Structure 1
Amino acid sequence: MKNFGLIGAAGYIAPRHMQAIKATGGRLVAAMDPSDSVGIIDSHFPEASFFTEFERFDRHIDKLARKDAPEAVEYISICSPNYLHDSHIRFALKSGADAICEKPVVSNPWNIDALLEMEEATGRRVNTILQLRVHPSIIALRESLLLKRAAGRKHDVDLTYITSRGRWYLQSWKGDVRKSGGIATNIGVHFFDMLHFLFGDLQSNVVHASEDQRAAGYLEYEHARVRWFLSIDAGDLPAAQRDAGQRTYRSITVDGEEIEFSGGFTDLHTRSYELILEGNGFGLETSRMAIETVAAIRNARPQALSGDYHPFLAHPGA
């Protein structure tokens, strides 16, 4: 049985980490969040210590390690806001634990370089959750693409993801680009990692839209040309989805063929934890290209709509 700490216990994604810890036979020893709305812990680990102040959580983790107690943590799961990931990963490593961090592992590529040095100095490891790499449909698609890959041929890909959010979103840390990294980082980074996983290294990155509620652009990989569109605005939903009362629209087409991967998301965190516990988790270098991609999008100046741009930019909500 492995011992876990968890930072960000009141967040949206924390229950999936608790479920994964329990499903893989682990024990949550201590959790921390400035908010005390963490009753979900009762469903998984009611005996876990809980702290609303990071300093007291730090002291508790350190005390367990110094006493070489049976409850000393071996992994710290990080579900905090994006801009705190780097700091909380450093805390985990300095505490003698491996880190398991939600996406994005960090906001900027240079943070990866510094954390690699810390890994070497501490002998501990940073793992990140890149759940689409373990999605059965995405794995099957990658294997199919590898079999059909022809020299010099590039696939034409459209990626569209609209996940409607209420007015609260822009008032939270997620709506602050300094804290979340913006739409492309907060809701898109694992899609960009998926594209790298499927189609190789990135060769070109053009941004056509970069706003509070939507972002879009064109990416060219070794084996694909990709038009992408991300939005949290319900007004961008296609008419069919709006009429049906749906709040989310997800579509990926490869050479005009729709890729179905809407199901199978329930156990992806558990599968990610299984790989981590086997020593086969996704490390810092695996995340680098996606982090470089979103950092470039964040800092780019949008170009005029010309060339190969996503059709939703011309006809949103059509």
Structure 2
Amino acid sequence: MKNFALIGAAGYIAPRHMRAIKDTGNRLSVAYDINDSVGIIDSISPHSDFFTEFERFENHAYALKRNPETALDYVAICSPNYLHHAHIAAGLRLGADVICEKPLVPTVDMIDDLKIIERETGGKVFNILQLRHHSSILKLREKVMAASADQKFDVELTYITSRGKWYAQSWKGDPRKSFGIATNIGVHFYDMLHFIFGKLQQNVVHLHAESKAAGYLEYERARVRWFLSIDENDLPEDVKGKKTTYRNIDISGEQLEFSDGFTDLHTVSYQEILAGRGYGLDDARHCIETVSTIRTAVIQAPTADAHPFILNKSL
């Protein structure tokens, strides 16, 4: 049984980490969050210690380190994006390996810095890239790998997930903390595209606003027109009033359906990490390079390669 700490216990994604820790037969020893709305712990790990001040959490973790039976083996991180680097570094310096939600960090320079801290501490950083474990994604990857080497697939990716007024008031609505919509809600799609279609060859941005972004990506095996939005007004007319989220990935005329099968992917990710097959810093580099470029790119006028939502709407 491994000992885990959880940083960011009050966040949306934290319960999936708590359940993954429990479902893999391990112990959530201690959790930390500045927010004390963490009652979910009672149904998963009621005996875990909990702190709302990082200094007290860190001091407690150091005390646990004195005894091999209580020392932390892993620190899981679900904190706001801008704190990931600091919390990963703290976890490594506590003598633990680290499991972090995406986006891992905002830039490849920070990945390189974490590689230095890995060498200094002997620890290892793992990124949750759960779409790589989704059965539909794996089947598509096999199909692409089996296709002719010179074939490029035409992909249209659309993801609209409506968010209310609270979003702009939270850290997610602050680009200094979330690094913007393409990074916050798009990074796992860019990792998925790289995982399936290979290295990125071209990255063009047609739109990058507070609530939406769009562009064109060309990979070794695909040409991708993408559109991301948190604005409910962007929902297709046949979806408005029925659903708040629209997810569509069209691959050369075929729909990729992966709406189901998400609930257990964090547990699968933990199983793979514990078995020594987790995704580390080098695996995360490609999608971090992609979102970093999108954030800093010069916006280009839409061309025929732009997503239809950009060509057909006044956004």
1:300 deviates by 1.1
Quote the residue 2:74 is aligned against. Answer: 75
Quote the residue 1:107 is aligned against. Answer: 106
Q: 1:177 aligns with which of 175, 178, 188?
A: 175
Quote the residue 2:118 is aligned against. Answer: 119
Secondary structure of 1:107's counterpart equals: coil
Q: Does 1:291 align with 2:296?
A: no
- Percent identity of paired positions between Structure 1 and Structure 2: 61
Aligned partner of 1:93: which letter?
Answer: L
1:222 deviates by 0.6
1:305 deviates by 1.5
1:286 deviates by 0.3
User: Which 5+ residue runs of structure 2 have no aligned equivalent?
Assistant: none
1:69 deviates by 4.8
Deviations 1:166-215 (CA, angstroms, capped at 9, x unpaired): 01111111111111010000000000000000000000000000000000
RMSD: 1.2
Quote the residue 2:269 is aligned against. Answer: 272
1:301 deviates by 1.9
TM-score by length of 1: 0.97
Quote the residue 2:253 is aligned against. Answer: 256
Q: Distance in 2 between matches of 1:269 and 1:151?
A: 32
Quote the residue 2:191 is aligned against. Answer: 193
Q: Does 1:144 align with 2:143?
A: yes
1:317 deviates by 10
1:316 deviates by 4.5
Q: Distance in 1 between matches of 2:228 and 2:200?
A: 19
1:236–1:316 Cα contact (<8 Å) kept = no
User: Which 5+ residue runs of structure 1 have no aligned equivalent?
Assistant: none
Q: Distance in 2 between matches of 1:274 and 1:61?
A: 24
Secondary structure of 2:214's counterpart equals: strand
Secondary structure of 1:117's counterpart equals: helix
Quote the residue 1:14 is aligned against. Answer: 14
1:237–1:316 Cα contact (<8 Å) kept = no
Q: Distance in 2 between matches of 1:202 and 1:251?
A: 21
Q: 1:225 aligns with which of 211, 223, 233?
A: 223
Aligned partner of 1:290: which letter?
Answer: C
1:134–1:272 Cα contact (<8 Å) kept = yes
Q: Distance in 2 between matches of 1:121 and 1:182?
A: 32
Secondary structure of 1:141's counterpart equals: helix
1:238–1:316 Cα contact (<8 Å) kept = no
Deviations 1:103-150 (CA, angstroms, capped at 9, x unpaired): 0111111101111111112111000100100001100110111111x2
Q: Distance in 2 between matches of 1:315 and 1:242?
A: 18
How many residues align structurally? 315
Quote the residue 2:44 is aligned against. Answer: 44
Q: Does 1:202 align with 2:206?
A: no
